[in-house]
Amino acid sequence: MSVILSPIDALARRVGLTSDAPLLITALTHSSYASEHGVESNERLEFLGDAVVDLVITDAIIHEYPHLDQGTGSLARSKVVNEASLARAAEDLGVADAVRLGRGEQKSDGAHRPSQLADTFEALVAAIYLERGYDTVREFVLAALGDALRAAAAAPDEVDPKSRLRQWAESNGLGTPVYAVTGDGPSHDTTFVAIVSLGGRDLATGTGRSKKAAEVAAAQRAWEGRNDA
């Protein structure tokens, strides 16, 4: 008879931790849940995980992609270590079903917000690093982000979404894209929303943990819908 696992149990198996491991539970605890229940949030783990992911990807670039120099290596890394990439990895792991959110975040479907997914992925990385060590977390990160890294290493200097959209708009005599960015939430957990417009017409909206990330997301969506512009 098959056993139906809870979302946290299933995620624990995927990341190689026990489902009752304190660090795993903390990694899945959003600040909104922490505030409502008086427990520790995943913010400190996120802070550490951000550095660990950066180290693992940089280390892999140095040792596995010798054709990349400092400049192209930095470009490749930026294509892998970003909100969209980490959010996709978190979705694949089933993070959205396991994360612990406050009531307000639940109502606004915060579990699927890219910024929240990326933050939780980083917190999980930190939990694995602290529980299992560097070799294990390196294997985990490369399994989660390896495809993105290989693609980035193959074309590190491909034009970024904002530059690509600008070049297309200007070459077609449409002017230069303009970005309007707003932020929502506390300073330690702000979500930025960017609206890109062209000739006074809004083209697309994007969200991110930083103004730049939100603008890039908006530019990518505008590029994908450029034939309708």
Q: What are the domain boundaries of the chain?
A: 7-154, 161-228
45 CB contacts (<8 Å, ≥6 apart)? 23, 26, 27, 122, 123, 124, 126, 127
pTM of this structure = 0.72
Residue 84 CA to residue 217 CA, distance in Å, equals 8
Indicate if the pLDDT at residue 70 is higher than 70: yes
C-alpha R_g of the chain: 19
pLDDT tens for each residue of 73-132: 888 888 898 888 899 999 999 999 999 999 988 888 888 888 899 999 999 999 999 999
Indicate if the pLDDT at residue 2 is higher than 60: no
Judge: domain 7-154, CATH 2.40.10.10: no
**For the chain, what percent of residues have pLDDT higher than 90?**
56
46, 105, 119, 122: which is the annotated catalytic residue?
A: 122
Active site residue 215: no
50, 105, 119, 215: which is the annotated catalytic residue?
A: 50
Give, in words, the CATH class of 161-228. Answer: alpha beta
Token pair belonging to 96? 């959205």
Indicate if the pLDDT at residue 217 is higher than 60: yes
Active site residue 50: yes
pLDDT tens for each residue of 27-50: 999 999 999 999 999 999 999 999
- What is the predicted pLDDT for the residue at 74? 83
Residue 191 CA to residue 185 CA, distance in Å, equals 6
